[in-house]
Amino acid sequence: MLRAVQVIVDEGIAKPILIGHPGDIARKLEAANLRVRPGIDFEVICAGHGHFFDEHFEAYWQEYRRLMERKGVSADFARREVRRRPSLFGALMVRQGDADGLICGTFGRHRVHREHVENVIGLAPGVKSLYAMSVLLLLAAALQIGNTIRMAAFARRRELGIMRLVGASNLYIMLPFLLESLFAALIGAALACASLAAFTRFVIIDRAQVSLKALRWIGWSETSWAMAGVVMVAVVLSLVPTLFATRRYVRV
């Protein structure tokens, strides 16, 4: 995150505001050997105390309670959450016009950060879920796979041209590339599924469920659905970019 702040400052994109303890931020800046300076290149707001916090805390927790009152959030709970949740405090800064944007989620549970953003900042009209970054990641993966296959096809372009001239079918020419990308995708999916299974077994079932029995944890049913989704996405992301990448090389 601090390296991103350095890039933002160097490029003149924005004036960053960091929410955290000034001492911790200073130590991390020194350890990373970064040039940015607190108070000059970026502002530091300490969630829990400090001038900015004391000045805006009352308005922030009241706004949060107003937004979440129908969900059973009390005044005491709103005060406590705004005081101890930096991502919630940052989302309230955006809502109240004290910041233009928010980046969070590098530490802690993704679900908690997402709920704060969705509950406080809200969604654009017509938007039902937060999937923008997931779509971008899928697009990036498809472009990377397509570029890899395109480079492999380009290296064999003369061989492919000869095969096409002697009458080889499109399927015969494209099949090796399809099988290659599919094989790589299945290996990746197998590793991902193994990681999911290991996390479910050793972290959730053996530790989390034993320690916190009052909470409802995911089990093998949810993990199985996740594995099936990983395999389906892997197959689609391997075959579709390959078809587009090799299409030009099956023409005479």
| Per-residue pLDDT tens digits for 200-221 | 888 888 877 777 665 667 788 8
Instruction: Report the DSSP beta bridge partners of residue 19.
Output: 45
Q: What is the DSSP letter of 59?
A: H
Token pair belonging to 124: 């654009």
CA–CA gap between residue 51 and residue 56 (Å, rounded)? 9
Q: Which CATH number do you get for residue 80? A: 3.40.50.10950
Query: Among 33, 41, 30, which residue's Cα sits nearest to residue 8?
Result: 41
- φ and ψ at 219, to 5 degrees? -125, -160
pLDDT at residue 132, as a whole number: 61
Query: pTM for the whole thing?
Result: 0.56
Last residue of a domain, one of 61, 86, 120: 120
Query: Among 80, 92, 144, 140, which residue's Cα sits nearest to residue 116?
Result: 92
Instruction: Note whether 223 and 130 are within 8 A (CB).
Output: no
How many residues in the chain? Answer: 252
Task: State mean pLDDT over 11-28.
Answer: 85
Last residue of a domain, one of 70, 86, 120: 120
Task: State mean pLDDT over 76-102.
Answer: 88
Instruction: Give how far Cα 202 sits from Cα of 123, 144, 151, Å.
Output: 36, 33, 41
Domain assignment present for residue 126? The answer is no
| Per-residue pLDDT tens digits for 113-158 | 878 888 888 877 877 777 666 677 777 777 777 777 777 777 777 8
Whether residue 13 sits in one domain with residue 86:
yes
Domain assignment present for residue 125? The answer is no
Task: State mean pLDDT over 96-115.
Answer: 78
Whether residue 246 sits in one domain with residue 138:
yes
Q: What is the DSSP letter of 184?
A: H
Whether residue 96 sits in one domain with residue 30:
yes
Last residue of a domain, one of 88, 120, 152: 120
Domain assignment present for residue 78? The answer is yes
Instruction: Give how far Cα 179 sits from Cα of 57, 105, 168, 249, Å.
Output: 59, 37, 17, 17
| Per-residue pLDDT tens digits for 170-193 | 778 788 888 888 888 889 889 999
CA 182 to chain centre: 25
**pLDDT for 252 beyond 60:** no
pLDDT at residue 250, as a whole number: 63
Whether residue 111 sits in one domain with residue 193:
no
Instruction: Tally the C-alpha atoms within 13 A of residue 241's C-alpha that lie toward its C-beta.
Output: 23
Domain assignment present for residue 25? The answer is yes
Domain assignment present for residue 155? The answer is yes
Domain assignment present for residue 31? The answer is yes
Whether residue 106 sits in one domain with residue 163:
no
Whether residue 167 sits in one domain with residue 190:
yes
Q: List the domain range (segments joined by +) for residue 246.
A: 132-250
Whether residue 146 sits in one domain with residue 242:
yes
Domain assignment present for residue 127? The answer is no
Whether residue 172 sits in one domain with residue 113:
no
Whether residue 188 sits in one domain with residue 99:
no
Please state the domain count of the chain: 2
Whether residue 102 sits in one domain with residue 169:
no
Whether residue 224 sits in one domain with residue 188:
yes
Please work out, in degrees rounded to the nearest 5, the angle formed at the alpha carbon of residue 176 by the alpha carbons of 171 and 181.
115
CA–CA gap between residue 214 and residue 219 (Å, rounded)? 15
Whether residue 202 sits in one domain with residue 143:
yes
Q: What is the rounded average pLDDT for all residues in the chain?
A: 82
Domain assignment present for residue 214? The answer is yes
